């Protein structure tokens, strides 16, 4: 090899090493809004030298982005627990979690077990828990006596309630009608019949809806103006309103709240795996998890944070969930074809006047 060729080879190796070094100092996260607080990201950079680059997304978009790239472009993603194994089976966009690189003792055991149950495929774990929340009922208790989702359909609440015409409404009303929709996930025919029954119930209830919403801000506005007396909503925005008006509360319905757990997953072709594990372990420290809870309004899956969070938020949690994690339905993985069944019913509901 002549001198010129050797120089070019050395230069190429140097450039490659420099690029890899640059990648090790950047962590690209695909996540929801509010899950990477700016102050937490900055403190992580100061402690590790790794800069966080955030791309905001949602469940369907995360899967679509990673499918399109074959699992490249990001080092860490944060879908909910029901969007992991199905996407992995179909598109192979994640890599397994190496528990030897995780400080598992930081996690609440129940939360870690839920994730292991929901996101293990062929004996391999594909996700770790991050934070969780639930969808149930927000009620102005001074104006309405409501205990379950179907109470939104009471005649006296005509034009005074709300919900989203999305799959959680179908799931919630199925439970309220005495069924377990999750038990039918493996039986498309039975599931379709159940969703059809739920659709008829929601259709008869539609006159009670002042509007159907896409943003929690619409619900908060309706409750603040007394346009609404109740609706389906997530816990965090309900607690926000409760801090303004103690009569407005988040209730865990008689038939149970619908719970989701946001996770950490490793995209199949991520370039900074070491940085991803560093961020996972960092955010699961109780002091850091408490900062994330403050920013996001939802509780993380970390042990030892209750003494570090806002006492009022802690009190709101126990008021809403006096039995702790009992009477909560955790979304299982979504089988292929299931959402197509639901979409037909949702389209009919949206078109109905």
Q: Tens digits of per-residue pLDDT, 44-72?
A: 999 999 999 999 999 999 999 999 999 99
Per-residue pLDDT at 342: 97
Question: In the structure, what pLDDT confidence band is assigned to residue 4 with cuts at 50, 70 and 90?
Answer: low
State the angle between helix axes of 273-283 and 286-296 in degrees (0 to 180), rounded to the nearest 10: 80
- For the segment 124-140, the average pLDDT, to the nearest whole number, is 97
- For the segment 75-103, the average pLDDT, to the nearest whole number, is 96
42 contacts 295 by C-beta, under 8 angstroms: no
Cβ-proximal residues to 1 (8 Å cutoff; 6+ apart), any chain: 9
Question: In the structure, what pLDDT confidence band is assigned to residue 22 with cuts at 50, 70 and 90?
Answer: low
- For the segment 315-332, the average pLDDT, to the nearest whole number, is 92
Give the DSSP letter string of 245-301: -TTEEEE--TT-EEEEEEEEBEETT-S-HHHHHHHHHHHTSHHHHHHHHHHHSSEES
- Sign (positive or negative) of CA dihedral 96, 102, 104, 107: negative
Per-residue pLDDT at 6: 53
Give the three-state DSSP class for 267.
strand
User: Quick check: 8 pLDDT over 80?
Assistant: no
Domains along the chain?
3-132+260-322 (3.40.190.10), 134-259+330-351 (3.40.190.10)
Per-residue pLDDT at 1: 57
Whole-angstrom Cα distance, residue 195 to residue 345?
Answer: 7
Per-residue pLDDT at 103: 96
User: Quick check: 15 pLDDT over 70?
Assistant: no
255 contacts 136 by C-beta, under 8 angstroms: no
pTM for this one? Answer: 0.88
Tokens found for residue 118: 């929901």
């Amino acid at each position: 090899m002549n001198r010129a060729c050797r120089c070019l080879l050395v230069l190429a190796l140097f450039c490659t090493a420099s690029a890899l070094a640059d990648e090790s100092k950047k962590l690209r996260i695909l996540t929801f809004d509010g899950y990477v607080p700016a102050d937490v990201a900055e403190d992580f950079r100061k402690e590790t030298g790794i800069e966080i680059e955030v791309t905001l997304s949602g469940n369907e978009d995360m899967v679509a982005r990673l499918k399109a790239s074959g699992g490249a472009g990001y080092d860490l993603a944060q879908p909910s627990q029901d969007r992991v194994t199905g996407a992995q089976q179909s598109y192979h966009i994640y890599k397994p979690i190496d528990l030897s690189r995780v400080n598992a003792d930081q996690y609440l055991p129940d939360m870690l077990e839920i994730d292991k149950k929901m996101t293990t495929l062929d004996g391999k774990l594909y996700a770790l828990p991050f934070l969780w929340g639930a969808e149930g009922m927000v009620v102005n208790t001074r104006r309405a006596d409501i205990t379950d989702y179907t109470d939104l359909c009471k005649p006296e609440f005509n034009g005074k309630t709300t919900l989203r015409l999305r799959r959680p409404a179908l799931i919630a009303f199925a439970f309220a009608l005495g069924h377990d929709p999750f038990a039918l996930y493996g039986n498309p025919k039975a599931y379709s019949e159940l969703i059809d029954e739920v659709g008829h119930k929601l259709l008869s209830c539609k006159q009670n809806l002042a509007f159907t919403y896409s943003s929690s801000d619409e619900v908060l506005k309706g409750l603040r103006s007394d346009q609404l007396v109740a609706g389906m909503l997530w816990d965090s925005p309900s607690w926000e309103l409760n801090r303004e008006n103690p009569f407005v509360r988040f209730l865990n319905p008689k038939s149970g709240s619908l719970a989701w757990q946001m996770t950490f997953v490793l995209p199949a072709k991520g370039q900074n795996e070491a940085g991803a594990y560093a961020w996972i372990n960092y955010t699961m420290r109780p002091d850091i998890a408490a900062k994330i809870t403050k920013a996001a309004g939802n509780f993380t899956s970390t042990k030892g944070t209750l003494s570090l969070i806002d006492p009022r938020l802690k009190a709101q949690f126990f008021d809403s969930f006096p039995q702790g994690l009992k009477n909560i339905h955790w979304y299982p993985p979504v089988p292929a074809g299931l959402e197509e069944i639901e979409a037909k019913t949702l389209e009919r509901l949206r078109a109905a006047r």
